[in-house]
Amino acid sequence: MEALAPPSQEELIRLVASGDEAAFEILYDEVAPRVFGLVRRVVRDPAQSQEVTQEVFLDIWEQASRFDPDKGKAMSWILVIAHRKAVDKVRASQASTDRDLRQGIKEFQESYEDVADTVEGKFEAERVKQALKSLTPAQQEAISLAYYGGYTHQEVAELLKVPVGTIKTRIRDGMIRMRDRLGVA
């Protein structure tokens, strides 16, 4: 008697779309380590990574009917969901931090000692701004999008319509040039 081949991930998603919990469990066991690994690389915080991973699987459960095997592999579809969720989490965390910072600054009453810190911070910000101006326009654009815009290297590459490797090189070379200009070891 010939053993049945295990269902493909595409087949599992089709079954999940019909509400098959057993298929969802099999799919989860197969892909959870890769999903968590991707999320962990983007989010970095282990607890938040676990939370985002759970959200990814909730989306898979709820959106399985949207998967179209003619457009790509199941794993690619799942990893796209995971990456988007992870980037959303990072952006939301940064927005929350920025909001808290703005509120803290609003409520903050400067004392005499804080004036020196403020002046020093503004001086450092100006030094960084000047160092950024010393870069090529392509390096400035890539670094600004990545560090100030919050975009991933892939998203910067898509926005600028250049290969990801080119973006990484521009950012790396620009950061080295800025480090040298600022005299940072």
* Together in a domain, 121 and 168: yes
* Together in a domain, 98 and 125: no
Domain residues for the domain of 172 are 112-185
Q: What is the pLDDT of residues 8-24, one digit of tens each?
A: 999 999 999 999 999 99
- The region of weakest confidence among 54-63, 80-89, 138-147 is 138-147
Q: Write the CATH number for 180.
A: 1.10.10.10
Would you say residue 184 has pLDDT above 80?
Answer: no
**Res. 57 pLDDT band, cuts 50 70 90:** very high
pLDDT of residue 1: 56
- Please give the Cα distance from 61 to 70 (Å, whole number): 19
Q: Write the CATH number for 11.
A: 1.10.1740.10
Is 6 in a helix, a strand, or coil? Answer: coil
* Together in a domain, 22 and 45: yes
Would you say residue 78 has pLDDT above 90?
Answer: yes
Domain boundary among 108, 130, 159: 108
- Please give the Cα distance from 153 to 90 (Å, whole number): 14
* Together in a domain, 63 and 125: no
* Together in a domain, 94 and 122: no
**Res. 69 pLDDT band, cuts 50 70 90:** very high
* Together in a domain, 29 and 100: yes
Q: Averaged over 93-113, what is the pLDDT? A: 70
* Together in a domain, 179 and 129: yes
Q: What is the pLDDT of residues 140-157, one digit of tens each?
A: 898 888 887 788 889 989
**Residue 30 burial (C-beta neighbours within 10 Å; 0-12, 13-18, 19+):** middle
Q: How many domains does the chain have?
A: 2
* Together in a domain, 52 and 98: yes
Mean pLDDT, the chain, as a whole number? 87
* Together in a domain, 25 and 69: yes
